[in-house]
Structure 1
Amino acid sequence: MNKKRFYKRLTAMILGGLLTVSAGSVSAANTVQLNLNDAVQMALENNRSIKTALANVDVAKWNLSKYRRQTGVTLSLSSAANHANDTLAAQHGYDNTYYTNSASASIPLYNFSLRSGIESAGYALNAADVTLENTKQSIRYQATADYYNILNYKNLIKVQEDAVRAYQEHLDNVNAQYRVGTVAKSDVLSSQVNLANAQQALTTAQNNYDIAIATLNNVIGLPTDTALEIDEELKHPAYNLNLNDCTNYALNNRADGAAAYYAVKQAEAGINTAKAGWYPTVTASANKAIEGKNAFHADHSNTWVFGATATWNIFDNGVTTANVNNAEASLVKAQEALKTQDETIQLDVRTALLNLQAAEKNISTTETAVTQAEEDLKIAHVRYSAGVGTNLDVMDATEKMTLARTNYNTALYKYNVSKAALDKAMGIPVDIDVAKYKASQMEGNRLKKVRDDAKVTANPVLELTPEAKKASKEEIKAMRQAEREVRNAADANKQAAAEKKTVTEKKTAVVSEPTKKTEQPASTAAVASEMAK
């Protein structure tokens, strides 16, 4: 099975929650068994920075296509329905209502600005290609360094566990001797303090390990709570490299150096673009027009014309000169950036190689120190048990043993990370060989040939895939649907609130309305009695 497809499926399964283990909790984290190659491949497949760089390549590709398309034929059609007064109708067959239709085609014969734009856009696409390669190299290094960081903290956990065990065993020994009265209470207290400090250091190492796991998950595109099972150990592979060879290789192969080179070429093309104001433009065109009482009829007129048009801006009050000076200054800026990049490359290589050499020396030194510290601790235990050594001797020997083991593992970790950093500083390729890419491009080959000449893997991903474009469109649809649902919910809430308010107002009006007394008609006897008074 294709490796890249495997990593795609693996990531999809994890994100879909198919690879799960029960760890005594309801929401157990996913668990993945991983090695260094898996981590790097998954990072190259899933990392967001690489996907962004792929999108930038597509942007540059279609920008170049836009310029190239402008050198071809353009065709336009137009139709109009008109209604005119009698005076104007006399010019159009005395029809107040008439129709006009026309078709025109044109092609640029000479356009210096367009030619320069094509050149600049081509270099921009080259820069996008090598920037993509640089991004992949950076992500490879980041994934590798994060992977080694996990192994480092895994080793440090073992060191701290051994330290806790040693302090606990010593505390048990001190307590036994204290109970029979051969040591003072201060020995017990100091041993307890050292044990507590070691337990705190172990907690810190375990927390750093968890953070390192989450960091690697983020780089390789997995949920940060994914548990990783890593069985590898930090190794000490030999190398046979010298500074001059590494530096020369880096100057020829660093992708960011190539990107700076193409920035200079773009700036050169920018000068030609600015000079376009001094040159004419020539365009060939053809036009056919018909007019009639009815649509698409030519009973009024039927004309055609073709020819060439030349335009030349004779005087622009120094605008073109200013643009040229601006472009020349931009070229100087790009040239200085290229020189700075070359100097940075040399510094990166020297720094990585020196760190690698220092770590290698520290490995042998600390390995010897570990052996000596372990022997010293054994002697301190024997002397303390025999009553001729002090508790402080044992504590000091245990601390030195822990420090020696920590230093050894740190030196081993720095050696591996420095080797990965040297690969990054030299520009060891991921998908394309930058030196071959530049050589093929300088030969004037088309982009596909340039990429084929430079690729170091069978099927490198150098542009956005159809699947990625489809996923982008589906994501936009989902976002718009979510926005519509939010708006609909808000409208429904407003309508419900308005209806509730209306009902409340009606109830209030009914309660506050005064009760009217019904007047009864007076009887005849009551009226006569009132009049008698």
Structure 2
Amino acid sequence: MKNNRFNKLTAMVVGGIMTMSVAGIAFAETMDVNIDDCIKMAMENNHTVKSSIDDYDAALWARHAARRQHGPKLNWTSAAQRVGGRGYDKIHVNALYSNTVAVSMPIYSGGQLEGSIKAADLSLDASELSVEATKQNIKAKTQSAYYNALNCRNQIKVNQDAVKNLTEHLKNVNAQFDAGTVAKSDVLASQVQLSNAQLSLLSAQNNYDVAIATLNNVVGLSSGTELNLKDELGYVPYEISLEQCSEYAQQNRPDILAAEYKVKIAEAQRDVAASGNLPKVNATVSKTITGETPFSEDDGPAEAFSSQNTWYAGIGISWDIFDNNVTQAKVKQAKAAIEKAKEAALEARDTGDLEVRTAYLNLTSAEKSIDTAKVAVEKARDDYKIAQVRYSAGVGTNLDVMDAEEKLVAAQSKYYNTLYQYNSSKAALDRAMGIMVDLDVSKFQDKLAKN
């Protein structure tokens, strides 16, 4: 009885899984996309891009807060107190209420507010540059994932052709074996070769599925979305010199410019720290009402003692003549931060130069290999045809055919890998150079020069 219940439960679970699987396949979304479509989706959906935009929004509000510090402030203070003692007992007062409304505005801050505003302005620019750098990184990542998927699709075609060729070859071997012209070992060897090719095809198909899932992840789609890639891996010669690429990167990479901005931010923060050595001047207007009842004066006999209606307007000055060298320590700390920012800016330039050089060398290496790999495919294809003809004529061996077929698969795979390496290196070089996605950095170059 228990076994029957278990069997029924198992059948229901398996049936449910099968139903879900079939339904999942039936309703799987298929999209026709090219590389531009994928880049556009990545800019709209990628979480890293969205996070960088959130950082920019935070910097925008930080600048807003810094600028508002320079304006007037309206403050209301209210208090309710229980009072006692001989003086209050004589006039029969046991509670006091006070309300003060004050308007204050900074007149001179010793450079503190100005430095904070400048630092916030520069931080906003640096954040905008960081958004552009993030978009460039995600664009390159999207391109690489797209090219990898194209390469995996090509590898499937290579392995499908191999299975087809070896299937035809096995038919030929079986026919010759039936005719008594070849040994059983040729049949067995051909079967093993075909099985290996089928396994390679399964592996290639799995690699393609993983590549599509990875591309979906980058562009912000569900990992199970089926994509029909409309492009093919191709070759467009690259005609810009390494020196031109490096020079462009040093002038236009957003992360390099952002690092330079951070030096200026650190300098502004030094000015904020140094403001502790200078006086602060504020203008204030205030009105205070105190009495036995909230928000009003008293008209009773205790008025002279317990109530008041006062106001004042004036300028206040505060100056820490001696603060036990706290300001001096803050200034030195800020100067150290400046030096650190300068080193980071130099490192950003060195890193940019290295990335450009690496991507360029990888690009040129792949470019030099494309023609050679293409010729190798043609020679391997001719060699395979010759091996087949020789085997059918009885003057070649089965080993010659299988060896030629392996070389053909290797040559085709190498050719497509080379195309992938070339295109992915081109994408990496664009990113290393700082090729624009959305933001023209020239205005930031001008602003940096003025600061």
Relative distance call for 1:214 and 1:88 in structure 2 (3 A) is farther
Give the whole-Å Cα distance in 1 for the aligned partners of 2:293 and 2:355: 76
The match for 1:279 is 278
Give the whole-Å Cα distance in 1 for the aligned partners of 2:172 and 2:151: 32
The match for 1:225 is 224
TM-score (norm 2): 0.89
Q: Indicate yes or no: 2:359 matched with 1:360.
A: no
For residue 421 of structure 1, the aligned residue among 425, 428, 435 is 428
> 1:179-198 counterparts in 2 under 5 A?
179-198=178-197
Whether contact under 8 Å (2:274, 2:331) holds in the other structure is: yes
Displacement, 1:86? 6.0
Q: Indicate yes or no: 2:174 matched with 1:175.
A: yes
Give the whole-Å Cα distance in 2 for the aligned partners of 1:79 and 1:161: 83
Q: Indicate yes or no: 2:116 matched with 1:117.
A: yes
Relative distance call for 1:295 and 1:371 in structure 2 (3 A) is same
Q: Indicate yes or no: 2:309 matched with 1:302.
A: yes
The match for 2:24 is 27
Give the whole-Å Cα distance in 1 for the aligned partners of 2:85 and 2:329: 54
The match for 1:378 is 385
Displacement, 1:320? 2.2
Give the whole-Å Cα distance in 1 for the aligned partners of 2:145 and 2:24: 26
Q: Indicate yes or no: 2:146 matched with 1:147.
A: yes
Relative distance call for 1:82 and 1:325 in structure 2 (3 A) is closer
TM-score (norm 1): 0.76
Which 10-residue stretch deviates more, 66-75 or 96-105? 96-105
Aligned residues: 422
The match for 1:312 is 319
Give the whole-Å Cα distance in 1 for the aligned partners of 2:21 and 2:314: 84
SS class of match (1:168): helix
Displacement, 1:441? 5.9
Displacement, 1:42? 0.5
Q: How far does the alpha carbon of each residue in 1:411-464 deviate from its partner, in whole angstroms, 9 at most, with x for none?
A: 1111111111111111111111123333146558xxxxxxxxxxxxxxxxxxxx
Whether contact under 8 Å (2:167, 2:194) holds in the other structure is: yes
Displacement, 1:349? 1.2
Give the whole-Å Cα distance in 2 for the aligned partners of 1:84 and 1:320: 42
Which amino acid counterpart does residue 320 of structure 1 have in structure 2? T
The match for 2:301 is none
The match for 1:326 is 333
Give the whole-Å Cα distance in 2 for the aligned partners of 1:84 and 1:344: 70
Give the whole-Å Cα distance in 2 for the aligned partners of 1:277 and 1:333: 23
Give the whole-Å Cα distance in 2 for the aligned partners of 1:386 and 1:355: 45
Give the whole-Å Cα distance in 2 for the aligned partners of 1:83 and 1:231: 81
For residue 399 of structure 1, the aligned residue among 403, 406, 409 is 406
> 1:97-136 counterparts in 2 under 5 A?
97-111=95-109, 112-136=111-135
Relative distance call for 1:315 and 1:86 in structure 2 (3 A) is closer
Whether contact under 8 Å (2:35, 2:143) holds in the other structure is: yes
Displacement, 1:109? 1.5
Whether contact under 8 Å (1:252, 1:435) holds in the other structure is: no
Whether contact under 8 Å (1:154, 1:209) holds in the other structure is: yes
Relative distance call for 1:75 and 1:228 in structure 2 (3 A) is same
Give the whole-Å Cα distance in 1 for the aligned partners of 2:84 and 2:345: 69
Highest RCO, 1 vs 2 (Cα 8 Å, sep ≥ 6): 2
Which amino acid counterpart does residue 194 of structure 1 have in structure 2? Q
Give the whole-Å Cα distance in 1 for the aligned partners of 2:167 and 2:427: 39
Which amino acid counterpart does residue 184 of structure 1 have in structure 2? A
Which 10-residue stretch deviates more, 351-360 or 396-405? 351-360
Displacement, 1:34? 0.8
> 1:198-217 counterparts in 2 under 5 A?
198-217=197-216
The match for 1:58 is 57
Structure 2 residue runs without a partner (length 5+): 1-18, 299-306
The match for 2:42 is 43
The match for 1:412 is 419
The match for 1:508 is none
The match for 1:453 is none
SS class of match (1:25): helix
Relative distance call for 1:237 and 1:373 in structure 2 (3 A) is same
Give the whole-Å Cα distance in 1 for the aligned partners of 2:375 and 2:129: 45
For the pair shown, the structure with the greater C-alpha radius of gyration is 1
Which amino acid counterpart does residue 363 of structure 1 have in structure 2? I
Relative distance call for 1:219 and 1:254 in structure 2 (3 A) is same
Relative distance call for 1:69 and 1:209 in structure 2 (3 A) is same
Relative distance call for 1:330 and 1:83 in structure 2 (3 A) is closer
